[in-house]
């Protein structure tokens, strides 16, 4: 890879290469912990005698907290730095993992699975860390390696945890296997704290002037920002509805209404906080040198909505799709055939970042989202008459464009506004989860073919939105805490 990327990934004496490796491993572990329950559901279902509805509730709870968590973690990263926040998240997740592993009732299982959704925000932290260490001409492929190799944690957990549970043996083997992931996470959090640095020597870590929301640079952008927050609350409201008696039945109708009321109150509080962060400097006027266009953030949010959002949704339904579409396939074969979609992350996401670095940010994103659109159109045509290997190849081709598109999105995120990279990454990441909720909700009302067509239609709309993305070029200005202005190359 070094020949094409300019990165010698084996040169651990280079501080930025070392930082990349220890950071993608941190992300890898968060995904192992976050999705550790999935391969263990057979054991968990038997141990607690769970119904199908209760299993579905656990799956919904696993992603519910991730949407607000990515926003909160983004704010904390920009304020305190990725070194402290990644270490804190890894150590905290170990205790939550122990709580889930040794839960004695379904209510305890549900609570800790809900809290473990916070671990899914770990991705945001490394985006800021990698963005600090790599120059603009390499940041795309570096972020792609971070995201692609880290994302593989869910697949690695699925491949190893059931075997570990069987090796440990006994009725509680699955519990100790899950607990092992917590031990590794906690120890690595301590290791990360001792080994990582927020910036290269001599570099300044820029922080937002105020915490609690993105700083925007015009009143028009402030209103745009507030509108872009609404879909995240709608997605959380939909998740509450899915947990109600009309869905899996974990919530009563009154509990759902109370949750909706809380979400409305939180939206009001967040709106006030964002206003507080922005009204003073907007009233005084923002220097031309410090301005950026919020549409850049909004377009990246939408692009991640259709890339990562569709990936999460498709990975969730693809085994069942193969099982129901082709005769004579058992659940194990269906799972293996579907696994190709996730495996593409190792190559596709770094490739998307590489495209962005070498062929231009906007052009690369447009090509990849265009390919994603065609990919889902192709998947919508798969039926029982297809040759199974052809269906698998079509799936993997589509997944390449999906995950390369994710890499292209986060090749741009660190180039918008350095001191708010964590918050921008958090908002884009949250939109990925919003996309997953949206597409899976659509799937609950339509057949598989229509589901793929809806994703393709969404991607085609977002393709045209990307036309309005400004190509990062020149320099952006950041102001240090001592008031000095620093110019950072972004193109």
Question: What's the pLDDT score for residue 6?
Answer: 63
Reading the block at residue 10, the tokens are 């084996």
Reading the block at residue 268, the tokens are 């009001």
> Does the structure show a pLDDT above 90 at 233?
yes
State the first-to-last Cα distance of the chain, in angstroms, to the nearest integer. 22
pLDDT band at residue 444 under the 50/70/90 scheme: confident
> Does the structure show a pLDDT above 50 at 187?
yes
Per DSSP, what are the bridge partners of residue 477? 487
| % of the chain exceeding 70 in pLDDT | 99
> Does the structure show a pLDDT above 80 at 343?
no
Residue 91 to residue 216: CA distance in whole angstroms: 33
Residue 318 to residue 320: CA distance in whole angstroms: 5
> Does the structure show a pLDDT above 70 at 1?
no
Question: What's the pLDDT score for residue 329?
Answer: 82
pLDDT, greater one: 26 or 56: 26
Residue 275 to residue 223: CA distance in whole angstroms: 10
Task: Evaluate whether 25 touches 126 at the Cβ level (below 8 Å).
Answer: no
Q: pLDDT tens digit string along 387-417?
A: 999 999 999 999 999 999 999 999 999 999 9
Question: What's the pLDDT score for residue 68?
Answer: 94
Question: What's the pLDDT score for residue 4?
Answer: 46
Please state, as a whole number, how many other Cβ atoms lie within 10 Å of the Cβ of residue 127: 28
The distance from CA 289 to its chain's CA centroid, rounded to whole angstroms, is: 31
What structural domains and CATH numbers belong to the chain? 1-203 (1.20.1250.20)
Q: pLDDT tens digit string along 3-24?
A: 445 678 878 889 999 999 999 9
Burial 73-88 (b: 16+ CB within 10 A, else e): bbbbbbbbbbbbbbbb
> Does the structure show a pLDDT above 70 at 435?
yes
* Interval 277-299 mean pLDDT: 89
> Does the structure show a pLDDT above 80 at 348?
yes
Task: Evaluate whether 373 touches 384 at the Cβ level (below 8 Å).
Answer: no
* Contact partners, residue 437, CB within 8 Å, separation at least 6: 63, 235, 238, 239
Question: What's the pLDDT score for residue 229?
Answer: 96
Angstrom CA distances, 456 to 63, 304, 321, 405, stand at 23, 14, 17, 14
* Contact partners, residue 299, CB within 8 Å, separation at least 6: 465, 466, 468, 469
Task: Evaluate whether 140 touches 408 at the Cβ level (below 8 Å).
Answer: yes
* Contact partners, residue 420, CB within 8 Å, separation at least 6: 78, 208, 214, 215
């Amino acid at each position: 890879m070094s020949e094409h990327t300019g990165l010698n990934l084996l040169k651990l004496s280079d501080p930025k290469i070392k930082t990349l490796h220890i950071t993608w491993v941190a992300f890898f572990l968060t995904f192992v912990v976050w999705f550790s329950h999935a391969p263990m559901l057979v054991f968990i279902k038997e141990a607690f005698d769970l119904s199908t509805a209760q299993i579905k509730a656990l799956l919904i709870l696993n992603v519910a907290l991730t949407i607000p968590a990515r926003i909160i973690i983004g704010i904390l990263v920009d304020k305190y730095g990725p070194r402290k926040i990644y270490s804190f998240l890894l150590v905290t997740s170990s205790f939550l993992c122990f709580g889930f592993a040794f839960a004695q009732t379904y209510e305890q299982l549900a609570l800790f699975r809900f809290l473990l959704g916070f671990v899914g925000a770990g991705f945001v932290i490394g985006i800021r860390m990698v963005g600090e260490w790599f120059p603009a001409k390499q940041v795309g492929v570096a972020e792609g390696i971070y995201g692609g190799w880290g994302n593989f944690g869910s697949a690695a957990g699925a491949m190893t945890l059931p075997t570990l549970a069987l090796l440990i043996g006994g009725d509680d083997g699955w519990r100790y296997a899950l607990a092992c992931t917590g031990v590794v996470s906690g120890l690595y959090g301590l290791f990360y704290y001792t080994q990582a640095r927020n910036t290269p020597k001599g570099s300044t870590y820029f922080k937002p002037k105020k915490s609690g929301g993105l700083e925007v640079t015009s009143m028009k952008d402030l209103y745009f920002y507030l509108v872009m927050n609404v879909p995240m609350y709608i997605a959380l409201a939909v998740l509450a509805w899915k947990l109600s008696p009309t869905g899996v039945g974990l919530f009563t109708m009154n509990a759902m209404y109370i949750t909706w009321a809380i979400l409305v109150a939180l939206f009001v509080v967040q709106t006030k906080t964002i206003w507080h962060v922005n009204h003073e400097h907007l009233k005084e006027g923002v220097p031309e040198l410090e301005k950026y266009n919020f549409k850049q953030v909004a377009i990246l949010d939408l692009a991640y909505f259709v890339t990562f959002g569709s990936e999460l949704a498709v990975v969730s339904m693809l085994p069942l799709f193969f099982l129901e579409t082709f005769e004579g396939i058992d659940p194990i074969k269906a799972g293996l055939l579907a696994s190709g979609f996730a495996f593409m992350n190792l190559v596709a996401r770094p490739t998307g970042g590489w495209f962005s670095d070498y062929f231009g940010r906007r052009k690369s994103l447009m090509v990849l989202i265009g390919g994603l659109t065609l990919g889902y159109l192709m998947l919508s045509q798969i039926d029982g008459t297809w040759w199974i290997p052809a269906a698998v190849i079509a799936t993997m081709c589509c997944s390449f464009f999906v995950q390369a598109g994710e890499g292209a999105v986060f090749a741009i995120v660190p180039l918008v506004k350095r001191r708010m990279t964590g918050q921008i990454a958090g908002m884009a990441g949250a939109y990925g989860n919003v996309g997953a909720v949206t597409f899976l909700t659509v799937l609950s009302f339509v057949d598989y073919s229509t589901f793929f067509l809806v994703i393709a239609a969404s991607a085609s709309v977002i393709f045209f939105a990307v036309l309005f993305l400004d190509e990062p070029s020149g320099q952006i200005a950041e102001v240090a805490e001592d008031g000095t202005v620093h110019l950072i190359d972004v193109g």
